[in-house]
Structure 1
């Protein structure tokens, strides 16, 4: 029995590793060609431009909101076609006052406060509230810790104007505090891999990308047709992605639109944030798994299965293989695979290192000797923490379903950043 379980777990692990290598190659191909369309696409930006509403959901964001609003002021998108809506959601600090100080000098910046059933219920509810109070044809969303580059919104709108089948255009995000701590070094590497493997790779091979929580633009008519954001979803971006595809549209990854965001600098903040993400994605998988074969857009079935594989099967394989390997030190399980297991683990590590290095090579100044050392350390520490986190998240999600608990939104703690982009 131990041999069978061990072979199954190795198969699941290697299947995921090979798939990510495939995605890394797709990401590199997308990197080489995505910017070639820009000269032609810019021609549609010469006439009347659509009105854009930028939503910034904020709950006690006084530490970072001034820097974010400064970035909004610097945007090159015409200000007569733009409104920036700061959504103060049950704030007890001076987030609103900071926003109002900007609104006095810049009429395109507006401050609203959630009220009634919309107050204090999390990001999705705040976004739905803003949807009732905006006038844009296109809705863009940025988290309160984001500093988009000057042309970020310009590029997002450009993509939508040139791709009629795209319901949403998503940009790239980078880590502004990447070198602050050992944890932010790991997150920076993780983020780069996500951009060029999960986003660019899937777009290149399958025409699939995921709406992130920030730096994306969506057509207003689409989000209204879908009934807004799911207020029960802790990963509202992933949930919205699946509904958009099922409507018959696609989501395009356009890395010319860049934003810089703050990441957790201490382990406790990271754990709570990533737990919310994992629980959110587990919720999405369970919500749509039963509807897998009835969905109109068949290619999104592949993505739902990918999330199911990632948050259930793959981690099951890792846990089983690690468990058997440890138990075999104390109890002879008569594993027939013998030394082959050591070779496979060694090859798996080399494959992991290779695919991460491909992703790092795409970003300027990221494929460094120092980062390679961080990748090696990441394999034995950060990646293993993810295993524990997913187990813990699954436990919480099962408990929530059994006891019919409501989702509780955790707001990521912010830190003061000097300088930045």
Structure 2
């Protein structure tokens, strides 16, 4: 049993090195590479696109933060698709000055369908005189220099751009802080490093930009999978697009505070990842092995290996325990090894959480105590992905809306500054 356990450990270590060693190089890039200077800045005309479903509590604050941008107001227009709403989302958005289209379709459900409906209606109404489009969720808030910063990166030549995803309810509980730390890690460790080393970044749900040229190439918004952001990212990379990132374009997102909602959301993510690789798997494999496209490899490693390594570790430990019991062998070493692997994983995740907390300390909107507590609870948040993933891969998952109740204004996030 000892030999079998040691072989299992070596297999796990080998997989981890193959899948994640390159991210250690990413970390080095954060400290040895400098941001390239921006090119000459030119002001562009933008449309802000927001798909909202029963978001009357938060949609007004987002529109207000758009109006507060340090960018010419006449160059920004806001469009809302009130998607299957039975509240006052449309009325609130109109009262704040947004152009609103209402959509009622219980069959084609999801953000991708809503965005396509919105863009098609804008096109039919002649509202297409824009250089590019921003996509936000209704619960988001933008820092005042957001569009100005993103315009600079657009002027640098990037036609798809993502941004710094912060959390407006970070300190609510272990779930919101867990989400918050992961998105900060994704923004600063992964996307910023990708930007520095010249690789493609990844769009993460909301807070991103695409140019008019990208939309024209797509024909229409045609990303309808459960994770339309990952589908959009992968489809653009496969077409040779390099997605940019702006670390100074900061927006705030509201995270689920209830475990049931968090379970449904992350279940959708996992099922969406599966859908993306079912649809684009052959093209991704071709990109990795034939075309030597590093970004295809990077996107694959960022999504699947952590789950499979966790699943393999759990399955291998259980198998060794069952075999040991059936063969009447001493399984104390197997149990010891399983516990040790758990502690090692917990420690590594806590270390990742601590690094993120301390490097992004000033930007995290929570008290010092809650920031420190998040380091301890972050591994627990990550561990819950394992059972969610197992269930998601074995069942049919449908898109479900997330309720938003955090009605803070941008000024309240800066109250202690």
- Note whether the superposition's TM-score is higher than 0.5: yes
Q: How far does the alpha carbon of each residue in 1:322-345 deviate from its partner, in whole angstroms, 9 at most, with x for none?
A: 534765896656679766666655
Query: C-alpha displacement at 1:24, in angstroms?
Result: 6.0
Query: C-alpha displacement at 1:373, in angstroms?
Result: 4.4
Q: How far does the alpha carbon of each residue in 1:335-372 deviate from its partner, in whole angstroms, 9 at most, with x for none?
A: 79766666655544443333332222220246967545
- Count of residue correspondences: 397
Measured in 2, the distance between the counterparts of 1:230 and 1:312 equals 28
Which residue does the alignment assign to 1:123? 111
Measured in 1, the distance between the counterparts of 2:349 and 2:160 equals 31
Which residue does the alignment assign to 1:410? 400
Q: Residues 137-216 of structure 1 correspond to what in structure 2 (within 5 A)?
A: 137-162=131-156, 164=157, 166-205=158-197, 207-216=199-208
Query: C-alpha displacement at 1:99, in angstroms?
Result: 0.9
The equivalent position to 2:232 in structure 1, one of 205, 229, 240, is: 240
Which residue does the alignment assign to 1:310? 305
* Mapped pair 1:357 → 2:354: yes
Query: C-alpha displacement at 1:234, in angstroms?
Result: 0.7
Query: C-alpha displacement at 1:79, in angstroms?
Result: 1.5
TM-score by length of structure 1 reads: 0.82
Q: Residues 18-417 of structure 1 correspond to what in structure 2 (within 5 A)?
A: 23=23, 26-27=26-27, 29-30=29-30, 36-37=35-36, 40-41=37-38, 44-45=40-41, 47=42, 49-103=43-97, 109-114=98-103, 121-132=109-120, 133=122, 134-135=127-128, 136-162=130-156, 164=157, 166-205=158-197, 207-295=199-287, 298-307=293-302, 309-310=304-305, 313-324=308-319, 327=322, 346-365=343-362, 371-379=371-379, 381-396=380-395, 400=396, 408-417=398-407
1:311–1:358 Cα change, 3 Å: closer
Which residue does the alignment assign to 1:106? none
Measured in 1, the distance between the counterparts of 2:348 and 2:189 equals 14
Query: C-alpha displacement at 1:313, in angstroms?
Result: 2.6
Q: Runs of 5+ in structure 2 lacking a partner?
A: none
Q: Runs of 5+ in structure 1 lacking a partner?
A: 104-108, 401-406
Measured in 2, the distance between the counterparts of 1:77 and 1:297 equals 40
- For residue 44 of structure 1, give the secondary structure of its aligned residue in structure 2: coil
TM-score by length of structure 2 reads: 0.83
Q: How far does the alpha carbon of each residue in 1:165-185 deviate from its partner, in whole angstroms, 9 at most, with x for none?
A: x23111011110011123222
Q: How far does the alpha carbon of each residue in 1:389-418 deviate from its partner, in whole angstroms, 9 at most, with x for none?
A: 01011112xxx4xxxxxx632111111334
Which residue does the alignment assign to 1:403? none
Q: How far does the alpha carbon of each residue in 1:2-46 deviate from its partner, in whole angstroms, 9 at most, with x for none?
A: 965874466336744896575366257437866x54xx52x633x
Measured in 1, the distance between the counterparts of 2:372 and 2:323 equals 32
